[in-house]
Structure 1
Amino acid sequence: MADLLAEIVLFDGFDELDAIGPYEVFQNGAQAGASLETRLVTLEETALVTASHGLRVEPDGTLGEPDLLLVPGGGWTTAGGVRAVVDEGTLPDAVGERSAAGATVASVCTGAMVLAAGGLLEGRPAITHQVAVDDLEAHAADVIDARVVDDGDVLTAGGVTAGLDLALWFLEREFGAAVAAAVETEMEHERRGAVVD
């Protein structure tokens, strides 16, 4: 049994790389020695979730009580995706509940808007995709110009590929630099930009 459980919550219109990139980083981290189990989950039981570019994903189950809850972005500037789940309200509430219960919460790209709607970012440093920076500031977050912002129990990443760097940073933070470096080598990815910790 892994020491840490990471759950990546999916919803119709999520951006593929925002979720699948960190998933692969975490799975490779487990192979490199991190005591980490990663699951793709939804709020309600469903057979398939359709992402923003048409990828259909079969989730592992429904949201539980993870140590790390990661929220992808996708669709803030359109009617679906993040915009729809923020307007609907159930996912922001669930994220807020998991945070209050002690989970570390992370977002990639416009997933930060879900965290903001859940009341997690007020007065805290955070980043999102450039298309949502003004909206994030309007939610009273302290927007930081960085690729990844680590505020302890809340981590946020900029747009899309920044999720790879957030996941690698999380591996380094929780399991050590050697694990993160092994995954970087395996995936032939070099982290770039600043991590504000």
Structure 2
Amino acid sequence: MAETTAEIVLFDGFDELDAIGPYEVLENGARAGASLETRLVTLTETDLVTASHGLRVEPDGTLGEPDILLVPGGGWTTDGGVRAAVEDGALPTAVGERAATGSTIASVCTGAMVLAEGGVLEGRPATTHAVAKGDLKGYAADVHDARVVDDGDVLTAGGVTAGIDLALWLLEREFGAAIAEAVETEMEHERRVEVVR
């Protein structure tokens, strides 16, 4: 069986926990036996990306054609982060292209706004951080008050810490409950399982 590739796409102003939480979960999943490689990537080559709270991250490379593409949130209510990424348009376009070619697309928090701008959420169930739910409805998404929404090839998570639950759900869905439970135990995290399917 071929190794599953997951890429978490970073941009200036992303929320640290939105990206690093799922990264740690997925990496721990690989250590627990999941055939999974997780990479932190950017759209264009860069040495460092600065997150919303000042953390500077060195990406592993640029966005490829992953099996799973995860988009973090951060900065929807400011001029940077997700707001700037949506206004720029390059990231939403790249996400839409990956969705069209078969990647499973996931978002954490206001990363859902990137998916929406990329045309991925129209008419589909989704969730996001409370501050962006009204805006997400404006994209004709079927917005739910849920921690994680799984619509098959598109998954969305609510605010910040929900990304950990999203990543645990992905491990369970793709690699089995035993791996997800092993990671949950190792990380001493108790999931609030509210997956809407």
Tell me the TM-score normalized by structure 2: 0.99
Q: Which residue of 2 aligns with 1:45?
A: 45
Matches within 5 A, 1:61-72: 61-72=61-72
Q: Give yes or no for the alignment of 1:29 onto 2:29.
A: yes
RMSD of the alignment, in Å?
0.9
Measured against aligned partners, the alpha-carbon deviations of 1:172-196 in whole angstroms (never above 9, x if no partner) come to: 0000000000000000001014111
- How far did 1:145 drift? 1.3
What 5-or-longer segments of structure 2 have no aligned partner?
Answer: none
**Contact 1:70-1:106 within 8 A present in 2 as well:** yes
Q: Give yes or no for the alignment of 1:154 onto 2:167.
A: no
**Contact 1:125-1:143 within 8 A present in 2 as well:** yes
Alpha-carbon separation, structure 1, partners of 2:178 and 2:71 = 26
**Contact 1:146-1:193 within 8 A present in 2 as well:** no
Q: Give yes or no for the alignment of 1:140 onto 2:144.
A: no
Percent identity over the alignment is 82
Q: Which residue of 1 aligns with 2:15?
A: 15
Measured against aligned partners, the alpha-carbon deviations of 1:88-123 in whole angstroms (never above 9, x if no partner) come to: 000000000001010000000000000000000010
Q: Give yes or no for the alignment of 1:88 onto 2:88.
A: yes
Q: Deviating runs (4+, > 2 A) in structure 1?
A: none
- How far did 1:2 drift? 5.7
Measured against aligned partners, the alpha-carbon deviations of 1:55-74 in whole angstroms (never above 9, x if no partner) come to: 00000000000000000000
Q: Which residue of 1 aligns with 2:129?
A: 129
What 5-or-longer segments of structure 1 have no aligned partner?
Answer: none
Alpha-carbon separation, structure 1, partners of 2:67 and 2:87 = 26
Q: Secondary structure at the match of 2:52?
A: coil
Tell me the TM-score normalized by structure 1: 0.99
Q: Give yes or no for the alignment of 1:185 onto 2:164.
A: no
Aligned residues: 197
Alpha-carbon separation, structure 2, partners of 1:112 and 1:48 = 23
Q: Secondary structure at the match of 1:41?
A: strand
